[in-house]
C-alpha cells in the first residue's frame, strides 16, 4: 500500500519541528526556505497552496535537505544562493558565506563616500559580494577583486555576470597584494579575523566553510596586519581603507594603522549591535619618514 502523500502545510509543520533543535526560533523560516527550494515556489505560494499535495519525490528531497541542515550544513549551501545588499549570489561549498555584518560594511562605505571612488580594490572577494554590491551602487567606478582561491574567483565571476557588472570588475588570483601593482581610491576587505583557538571549538556550521577564509591566526590579526602594512603603497593620497574586524580587535587595529605612519584619519565604527566591527583609515597626502610604502 502506498503511503498517503502530505500536503504543503503538513510538510512545513514537519520540517519546522525537525529543525527546531538545531535552528531554534528560526526553524520555521528555514523550513520555509527549504520547502520553497524543493517546490520551486515563493514563500507566499506555500500558504496559498497549503492544502495541495507534495509528491513522494519532493518529500524525499525535503527529507534529505532537512537532515543535512540538522547535521549543521549551512542553509545557504543547501539553497545554493544568498541575497546580499540587493544582489542575488550563487553559493557553493568551499566559498565563504557573506554575513549581514558585511552588508553593513557596504552600506557604511556607500553612505560615507561623498563621491564614488574611481578605482576600487576588494581583497579576499570570495563570492564577489562586496565588489558586486559596490559596482551596482557606483555604475561609473571600476573594480579589481582578488582571491587566492580559483574556485572562489570562478564563482565571483559568475555572480558578477548574474548581476550585470562583470564588465567593470577585473578578477585576479592573488595572495592579498602579491599580484597587484596599481593604486586605488578605495580598498576594502573582509579578511579572516577569527582566532584559531575559537575555530577549534566553533559551531558546527563554521566547519563547513573554507577555514582559510576564517582563520586569522592565534590572535586573529595575521591577515589584518599584512593588509594594513601593505595598503599605503596601493592607495592614492586621500584614498580610504575599510576593514571588517572582530568585535574585540578595535584597539589593536587602530594601533596597527597608526604604526604605518601613513594614515591621517583613523577610526573604528560599530555594527548594529553596538560592537566594534569596522575600521576606516584615510591615506595622508604627506607620508612620514619610515612609513610602510
Tell whether 59 and 166 lie within a shared domain: no
159 is catalytic: no
Options 33, 84, 85, 96, the catalytic residue: 96
287, pLDDT greater than 80: no
38, 71, 104 - which closes a domain? 71
State pLDDT tens for residues 136-160: 999 999 999 999 999 999 999 999 9
163 is catalytic: no
Given the C-alpha cell 577610526, which residue does it identify?
267
**In which band, very low, low, confident or very high, does the pLDDT at 202 lie, cut at 50, 70 and 90?**
confident
- This prediction has a pTM of 0.92
Tell whether 131 and 230 lie within a shared domain: yes
Options 177, 184, 190, 263, the catalytic residue: 190
Q: Is residue 79 part of a domain?
A: no
Please count the structural domains in the chain.
2
96 is catalytic: yes
CA–CA separation, 277 vs 102, rounded Å?
A: 9
CA–CA separation, 137 vs 272, rounded Å?
A: 21
Phi, psi angle pair for 287, to nearest 5°? -110, 125
Options 191, 192, 232, 263, the catalytic residue: 191
State pLDDT tens for residues 54-72: 999 999 999 999 999 999 9
Tell whether 94 and 218 lie within a shared domain: yes
CA–CA separation, 229 vs 73, rounded Å?
A: 36
Across the strands, what pairs with 243?
A: 189, 279
Q: Is residue 3 part of a domain?
A: no
pLDDT of residue 243: 98
Domain with residue 273: its CATH number is: 3.40.50.150
Q: Are 188 and 244 in contact (CB under 8 A)?
A: no
State pLDDT tens for residues 217-229: 999 999 999 999 9
Q: Is residue 2 part of a domain?
A: no
Amino acid at each position: 500500500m502506498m503511503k498517503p502523500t502530505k500536503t504543503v502545510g503538513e510538510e512545513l509543520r514537519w520540517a519546522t519541528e525537525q529543525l527546531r533543535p538545531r535552528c531554534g526560533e528560526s526553524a520555521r523560516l528555514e523550513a520555509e526556505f527549504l520547502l520553497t527550494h524543493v517546490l520551486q515556489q515563493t514563500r507566499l505560494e506555500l500558504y496559498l497552496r497549503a492544502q495541495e499535495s507534495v509528491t513522494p519525490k519532493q518529500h524525499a528531497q525535503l527529507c534529505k535537505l532537512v537532515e543535512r541542515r540538522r547535521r549543521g550544513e549551512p542553509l545557504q549551501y543547501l539553497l545554493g544562493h544568498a541575497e546580499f545588499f540587493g544582489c542575488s549570489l550563487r553559493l557553493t561549498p568551499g566559498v565563504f558565506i557573506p554575513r549581514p555584518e558585511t552588508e553593513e560594511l557596504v552600506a557604511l562605505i556607500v553612505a560615507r563616500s561623498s563621491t564614488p571612488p574611481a578605482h576600487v580594490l576588494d581583497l579576499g572577494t570570495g563570492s564577489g559580494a562586496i565588489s558586486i554590491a559596490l559596482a551596482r551602487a557606483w555604475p561609473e567606478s571600476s573594480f579589481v577583486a582578488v582571491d587566492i582561491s580559483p574556485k572562489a574567483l570562478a564563482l565571483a565571476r559568475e555572480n558578477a555576470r548574474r548581476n550585470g557588472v562583470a564588465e567593470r570588475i577585473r578578477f585576479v588570483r592573488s595572495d592579498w597584494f602579491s599580484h597587484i601593482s596599481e593604486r586605488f581610491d578605495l580598498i576594502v576587505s573582509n579578511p579572516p579575523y577569527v582566532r584559531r583557538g575559537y575555530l577549534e571549538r566553533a559551531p558546527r556550521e563554521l566547519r563547513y566553510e573554507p577555514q582559510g577564509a576564517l582563520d586569522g591566526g592565534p590572535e586573529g590579526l595575521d591577515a589584518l596586519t599584512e593588509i594594513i602594512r601593505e595598503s599605503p603603497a596601493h592607495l592614492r593620497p586621500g584614498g580610504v581603507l575599510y576593514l571588517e574586524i572582530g568585535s574585540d580587535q578595535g584597539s589593536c587595529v587602530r594601533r596597527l594603522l597608526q604604526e604605518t605612519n601613513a594614515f591621517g584619519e583613523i577610526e573604528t565604527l560599530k555594527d548594529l549591535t553596538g560592537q566594534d566591527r569596522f575600521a576606516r583609515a584615510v591615506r595622508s597626502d604627506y607620508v612620514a619618514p619610515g612609513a610602510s610604502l
